[in-house]
């Protein structure tokens, strides 16, 4: 029984490693900290079309 549990655990670890290995080389590092969720969302949603420099460099007043 213990052996079965260990085998299942090892299998799940292997699957997790395979999934992690799928990340593309150029993937931006995941953000950490209190704004991590928003930062990751922007990174995923917005960086698919243009770099985030475009977002960071945008300067406008409230109306803009």
Q: Write the CB contacts of 51 (distance below 8 Å, at least 6 apart in sequence).
A: none
Q: Which of 25, 48, 53, 63 binds ligand HEC (CB under 6 A)?
A: 48
- Main-chain phi, psi angles of 9, to 5 degrees: -60, -45
Binding span for ligand HEC by CB under 6 A among 7-15, 21-29, 32-40, 41-49: 41-49
Number of residues near ligand HEC (by CB under 6 A) = 9
> For binding to ligand HEC (CB under 6 A), which residues are involved?
42, 45-46, 48-50, 54-55, 58
């Amino acid at each position: 029984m213990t052996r079965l549990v260990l085998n299942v655990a090892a299998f799940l670890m292997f699957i997790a490693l395979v999934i992690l290995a799928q990340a593309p080389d150029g993937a931006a590092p995941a953000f950490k900290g209190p704004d991590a969720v928003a930062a990751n969302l922007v990174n995923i949603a917005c960086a698919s079309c243009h770099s985030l420099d475009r977002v960071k460099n945008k300067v406008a007043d409230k109306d803009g």
